[in-house]
Amino acid sequence: MPFTLEDRLAVAELIALHGHFVDDGELDRLDELFTADVVYDLTDFGQPPLSGVAAVREAALALGAANPVAHHVTNVVITSWTDDRAQVRSKGLGVRADGSCGSVSYQDTVVRTPDGWRISHRRIVLRRIPLGGLSEPA
Amino acid sequence: MPFTLEDRLAVAELIALHGHFVDDGELDRLDELFTADVVYDLTDFGQPPLSGVAAVREAALALGAANPVAHHVTNVVITSWTDDRAQVRSKGLGVRADGSCGSVSYQDTVVRTPDGWRISHRRIVLRRIPLGGLSEPA
Amino acid sequence: MPFTLEDRLAVAELIALHGHFVDDGELDRLDELFTADVVYDLTDFGQPPLSGVAAVREAALALGAANPVAHHVTNVVITSWTDDRAQVRSKGLGVRADGSCGSVSYQDTVVRTPDGWRISHRRIVLRRIPLGGLSEPA
């Protein structure tokens, strides 16, 4: 099947749904977002990758009260695609219970499955310094 | 009329417009967002529902300087629809003058009217604790 | 060429890409966002407008560590369009290294070019007070 406008909207909604499921505590629905063998690349956090939906769910539960109270996803851009696979960049904003925020970038691979689009690979990079560390030549 | 891709985009823009109208002080345009008899469900805040556009406008004005300086809407997902009605989940981020943020979830019913899509029912839920309060089994 | 659904999605992605390029330090790609002669209206900040992509890049570099660590773009609404030009309202949320946030509104003119859609004029307005300063009649 060709990658249609409907696919573009479906992929954008897939990326957006993550925030709803996590913040509403619907962790039993993560299989609607991720492939069973999803790889969650946390290299930027100095952690090994998580493998599989169950590992992602357990990591969220283990983080517990240290999770943000809300996950807002913005800047969803589908940067390339074939019929059954696409690369997506987006940005995640985490709102903490104390009103402070943190920001990450998501780099996702999404794939078409018989049940719809799913994220098969997600790399998360924390935004620590402006301009990705770029600075003016001295 | 069937619910088309154009309708999906129109509904997403409708949800997004709310932040512009409120933050730009265009409260006289709220009838472009809501049906005349909109119900604003504030049960989660321990308040009775607001009924009608005028009541929504007055509530915003009454809140005055305690309003956020900006309302960012993200994670817009149309979860179900018929030809003339749709259910929409989205997330609202309020930025306060002191730089702190708060987050709510919106659960909207939108309806097709002769003037375009309008929100006929909005339920607002404040995000207070991570994972919607879900915790690991002890 | 008529302004199609594909154009609407392309314009929305153009607006969204800005945050990725800036936060990832890809300032050498700003010509994928802006026309060569873009005007950046900073009147609301008491500054003269920036003219041209190079000036926008230099301003970002000059701001250096005072830049937000992340630029989230939300509430993208295409308010009017002709075949080759559109007006777009969106909202920008800047996340600072200390976890605090600030919010601006963008008012953009985008134009169709042989290389795709580009922003030819951007006006930035800082959100300082709620409801755009609107208050209840005394």
Sign for the CA dihedral angle at B92, A88, A120, A44 comes to: negative
The pTM of this model reads 0.96
Q: Which of A103, A100, A112, A122 is nearest to A40 (CA)?
A: A122
Position B119 scores a pLDDT of: 98
- Tell me: pLDDT of B113 over 90: yes
Residues of A in contact with C19 (CB under 8 A): 74-75, 91
Q: Each residue of C73-85: pLDDT tens digit? A: 999 999 999 999 9
Position A137 scores a pLDDT of: 65
Q: What is the separation, in whole angstroms, between the first and last Cα of chain A?
A: 52
Query: Which 76-135 residues of chain B touch chain C by CB within 8 A?
Result: 93, 95, 97-101
Position C1 scores a pLDDT of: 84
Strands C34-41 and C116-126: parallel
Position C33 scores a pLDDT of: 98
Beta carbons of A74 and C74 less than 8 Å apart: yes
**Measured torsion, CA atoms of residues C2, C8, C10, C11, in degrees rounded to the nearest 10:** 100
Residues of A in contact with C72 (CB under 8 A): 72, 74-75, 91, 93, 103
CB burial class (10 A; 0-12, 13-18, 19+) of residue A66?
exposed
- Tell me: pLDDT of B123 over 70: yes
Tell me which chains share at least 3 CB pairs under 8 Å with chain A: B, C
Strand order in the sheet with A116-126: A50-51, A34-41, A116-126, A101-113, A85-95, A70-82
Digit-by-digit pLDDT tens for chain A (138 residues) are 899 999 999 999 999 999 999 999 999 999 999 999 999 999 999 999 999 999 999 999 999 999 999 999 999 999 999 999 999 999 999 999 999 999 999 999 999 999 999 999 999 999 999 998 888 765
Q: How far is C28 from chain A (nearest CA, A)?
A: 11
Residues of A in contact with C73 (CB under 8 A): 74-75
Please list, in sequence order, all residues whose beta carbon lies within 8 angstroms of the beta carbon of residue A18, skipping any fewer than 6 positions away. Answer: A33, A71, A73
Q: Each residue of B11-45: pLDDT tens digit? A: 999 999 999 999 999 999 999 999 999 999 999 99
Position C135 scores a pLDDT of: 83
Compare all CA atoms of chain A with the CA of B5 and give the residue at the minimum distance: A6
Name residue A40's beta-bridge partners. A50, A122
Q: What is the ipTM of this complex?
A: 0.95
Q: How far is B114 from chain C (nearest CA, A)?
A: 19
Sign for the CA dihedral angle at B60, B64, B67, B71 comes to: positive
Of B16, B95, B97, the CB nearest to C75: B16
**DSSP-based three-state secondary structure for B85:** strand
**Residues of chain C below pLDDT 50:** none
